[in-house]
Structures are given as C-alpha cells and as structure tokens.
Amino acid sequence: MNQRIDIMPVDDDRNRQAREAARQRVSWPVNLTPASVGYHSEGHALVLGNERDVRRAARALHDRGLPLPTLLFTEPMADGEIDEEDEEDESLLADTAGMTSQRLSRAQSRTLGIDGYLGHFSVHLADEDGTLDLAWALVDREHFDLVLDLGETPVLALELPPPGYVALSWHAPQRDDQLEALAGLVGEFDKPRYFQIDNALCAHSASGNTGCTRCLEVCPADAVHSHQGRIDAWIEIDPFRCHGVGSCSSACPTGAIQFRLPETARQQETLLAWLAAYREAGGAAPVVRFAEAGDLAGEDAAAGHVLDIPLEELGAAGHDQWLTALAGGAAEVRIQCRAGMPERLTAFIDDQLAQTHALLHALGHSPSRVVRLMAGDEAARDALPGEAPLEGEPLVFTEHNKRDRLDSVLAHLERLGHPDGHRHAMPAGAAYGGLAVNGEACTLCLSCVSNCPTPALAAGDDRPLLSFREADCIQCGLCAEACPEDAITLVPGFLADAGRRERRVQHEEAAFPCIRCGKPFATASTVATLKAKLADHPYFAGDALSRLEMCEDCRVKDVWQAMARDPESQLKV
C-alpha cells in the first residue's frame, strides 16, 4: 500500500540545505565539447506572398542591410492590385524596382516546394512537365540563404521550421522584431549536433519490412526521416533542421538515438546521485521537477524539498527518466510544461504521462506520484508530496544500454510495489507487450529471430526451438512481418509479473535427422513444408525430392553423384 504523509509544515531550511549539499557534491552533466554543424549565409532572401506585403517586407529587409531580395508573388491581394498612380504604392514600386520578381498565376497548376535550412534553401515549382529551380531561374544562384513566407498558408507548415525560414503575417504585432532577427542571419553560425545514432540498435526496418516508427512521429521540426535503401530503410536525422527537442531520443525504445546534451545515461546517474546526496544530508520527501532551463532561470527559488532537473528541452527526458527518479527515492515527480510548446511535443508528453500512469498502476503504485504542472504555477511547484518516498533500498544501475536500464527501473518498482500478475493495457504504440506463436503453423525457420532487433527472440543452442523474453520486446512487429507462415501475433500490454524477465520456450520440435548420415539439420515440419511447396519443381522431380530430407553436405554429394551417372541430367532442368 502507498504510505500517506500528513500535510503539515516541514523543516524547509533543512531540505534546502540538503538540496544545496547535493548540488555541490554532484554537478549536473554538461557536454563540454559537443560536435557542431555550421551555417553560412550571405543574406540572399526570397520573399513570397501577395505583392504589396512582399514589396513592403523586401524594402524593410533591404533597409536593414540585406542584399536585394528576390520577390515571388504567390497569391492575390485582398484589396486589389498595386496602383501605380497611388502615392504610397508608387513609392513602394520605386524602392523595390531593382529586385528580381516572379508572379505565379492562379491558373498555373504548379506546386511550390521549399526544402533546406539557413544558407541552403532550395525552392522549386513542380508540375506535370517537370521541376523548375527558382534560385537558378531567377537569380542564377544554387540556393537562397533566407526565406520570408508572408502567405496566408505557409509553404512549410511546421511547428519548428528550419533556421532561416520565417512564416509571418505582415500585420503581426511582432513583425518588426522578426524582420530584425531575420536580417541578422548573415555570416557564419554554429549549432550543436544534438544527437547520435547507432543504426545497429535501430528497429526501424529489416528484410524490407517496416518496424518501429516512433521517432518519426514525435519530431516537431520534421528533421527525422526514413531513408529507403535497396532493401531496407534506415533512420536519418538532419542536423541542420534539428532543434534539439529530444523527443526522438526519449521515444526510441532501444537507445538507437541518443541525445547528447546531456547523454541519457549520465542524466540518470546524476539524478540518482543527487537523490542519494540529498538523503545523506538529512533531506526528506524530495520532489523531482523536470523543467526547461530557460523557465528555471526566470523564476523565484523553489521550496527546499524540490530538486530541479534542468533540461535544454522538455522532450529530452521521457517516462524512463521519470520512473528512475521514483526508484531512486523521490516521493513525487513533476513535469513542468510551458505555454506555447509545439503540439507534437505536448502530445509526446501526454503520451509519456499516460504510459507512466499505466505502469505505476500495474506495479501497485499511485499514478499521482508523477504529475504535470505549468510554468509559473508556484503553488503546484512547491506543494508537499501526498506520499512518502517508496520504502526500500534505492536503485543502483549496473546496466549500460537503455532497455536494460528501463527494465532495471521497472523491476525495482515491482519489488517495492504490489503487482497483480496481469497484463495491463498501455497507450497505443507503447513498447511493451508479448507475442503468441501458433505452434501448428510455426516451422521454426527462425526468420523471426534473424529479424528481431533486440534479444527478445532466440533460437535453441542444441535443439530446434524458439524462445522469447518479454522484457526485451519493443513491439516493433518485425518478427510478425518476417514470418512466412503468419504464425506470430503481437500481444500488446504490460505484464505486471516477474515472468516478463524470464526466457520462455514458445515452440519446440524434435530435430529431423538426415536420411543418409543421420545428422539432425531441421525440423520435421520444415522438411514437410518444403516438400509440399517444391513437389512440382523440376529440380526435385522423382527421387530428387528426397534431397530435401538430406543435410546440406549430403545434398551436395547426391547432386554430384547424379551428375557423374548422367552428366546431362542436371542440364535438362
């Protein structure tokens, strides 16, 4: 049962002293020399939208020091065309007379596309006759450095557009500030490379089948893409378009994508060290708050029992980090959101909270131990926790990879809770679940094992069998896609039982011995399936069908012996 604590005044000074002692003993990890990417911009801008707004913006940018912009009129003006006899319009036309312009007729069936980033934007028009590169066509350049989109509907409808692209209404109150910022993007710029990818751990694709797509679904900058090769696809992240939100790393169930500011493992270890130092210094019932560093810098000091975890972006910590805090001795975890977060990031936090609450419920803990709060809500931030920290020895990591660490956290919470042994529903897409194998259909071809990106599925060492360890399964579905007999079905949901960490046999058969040498080389069902499928193949006509009952060595010998008896027999096939 959850232990309640009375809501009463606490020794906040003692907690504050314990918190400061913990911070002095353990510094929050920083990446001292992160890899970076560089941008080079000469300030050549493309301004698009209706003619009057485009000419106004182009004049404003040129007045701020940019080279003559290129103008692209993509939509009509609500108040009619520019009047050359109007004094204001005449002045506007005169000020922008030297700028290259192009007008798109509404009758033209063309699609305008923009791709790239600061210093390297490609803009093209596509129709059934082909694609026109506007940088080459209009200003004889390989690319534009900046894009100012004044259209009613932005060409790049992204929550976090690439650096150098600004979608703006001419009548927006922040117009002048944004124009000033855009005009300042001239020169050399560096930005951290926020991530690293280990494709050997990625569960995105195998044997031409698509598996995990979680990282693709959570990036608000559209910087994560699936790159299709000759057979398989792999995940690529554009470092020039990445804003370092970190949700792709938190969503990745295998640790294939690692956030680097700081690295996930260092973040977990430092969190545990802070909590340990806090307890040793006499602090009680700590509350861990995950918040963006920018929000923390602009607020008053929190209550003494609140341990703040500063993040570059809130998405850099997911439910594995939050549960680590509870397993390390925190009484409660609070996730501080802010107004104006990208919708995809907000949806990601919602999903992570839903997964956290489902896991805590399954393990016999109160879901209220992990809650959301909004920046600026000091009462919610400083509130005393409703429950005491979980009783028992705090968590200590011995594992290195992400999935093993998560399993260690769940196992620790399981020991401190009251799991009911049942399978619990999880939010759609959660990386928890088992699988069912149809023993009558399975031939133990082991295609599932070769396509499984984790150690979840394994073959027998000395006998034909298929085993499964649920704790390693991320529900990517590659095993089911690879099975030629459709014998595998995913069973989503979290199993609140220690058995999820045990390896269990799903299907086993006796080995089929070679009819010549007696060596076991396959299963009886595999041989029977092959004989049924190849019975009409000319290569296995007549007595040759028995080759399917031979091991690979005896099969080769039989072919050579047949050729020695009748050299032309094999050429007739």
Residue 51 burial by Cβ neighbours in a 10 Å radius (0-12, 13-18, 19+): buried
Q: Quickly count helices (H) and strands (E) in the chain.
A: 17, 29
pLDDT of residue 390: 93
pLDDT at position 497 is: 95
- Whether the Cβ atoms of residue 15 and residue 93 lie closer than 8 Å to each other: no
Q: Where are the domains of the chain?
A: 12-30+262-419, 38-192, 195-259, 424-508, 513-572
391: number of Cβ within 10 Å: 7
Between strands 70-73 and 101-103, the pairing is: parallel
Other beta carbons within 10 Å of 83: 11
Q: Which fold has domain 424-508?
A: Alpha-Beta Plaits (3.30.70)
Reference 205, options 189, 196, 216; nearest CA is 216
Per-residue confidence in pLDDT tens, the chain, 573 aa: 344 444 444 567 778 777 777 777 776 665 545 588 999 999 999 999 999 999 999 999 999 999 999 999 988 876 666 756 566 767 788 878 788 888 876 556 678 999 999 999 999 998 888 899 999 999 999 999 999 999 999 999 999 999 999 999 999 999 999 999 999 999 999 998 899 899 999 999 999 999 999 999 999 999 999 999 888 899 999 999 999 999 999 999 999 999 887 788 888 999 999 999 999 998 889 999 999 999 998 899 899 999 999 998 999 999 999 999 999 999 999 999 999 999 999 999 999 999 999 999 999 999 999 999 999 999 999 999 999 999 888 888 887 889 999 999 999 999 999 999 999 999 999 999 999 999 989 989 899 999 999 999 999 887 889 999 999 999 999 999 999 999 999 999 999 999 999 999 999 988 888 999 988 888 888 888 888 888 888 878 777 888 889 988 998 898 888 888 776 655 554
Buried b (16+ CB within 10 A) or exposed e, 415-428: ebbebeeebbebee
* CATH domain 38-192 topology: FAD/NAD(P)-binding domain (3.50.50)
The span from the CA of 269 to the CA of 309, in Å, is 12
What is the C-alpha to C-alpha distance for residues 337 and 331, in angstroms, rounded to an integer? Answer: 20
Q: Which CATH number fits domain 195-259: 3.40.50.1820, 1.10.220.70, 3.30.70.20, 3.30.360.10?
A: 3.30.70.20
In three-state secondary structure terms, 237 is strand
Looking at residue 86, what is its pLDDT? 64
Residue 109 is predicted with a pLDDT of 63
Same fold, 38-192 and 424-508: no
Q: What is the pLDDT at residue 6?
A: 43
Task: Dihedral sign for Cα 521, 523, 524, 529, please.
Answer: negative
Predicted TM-score (pTM) of the model is: 0.86
pLDDT of residue 4: 40
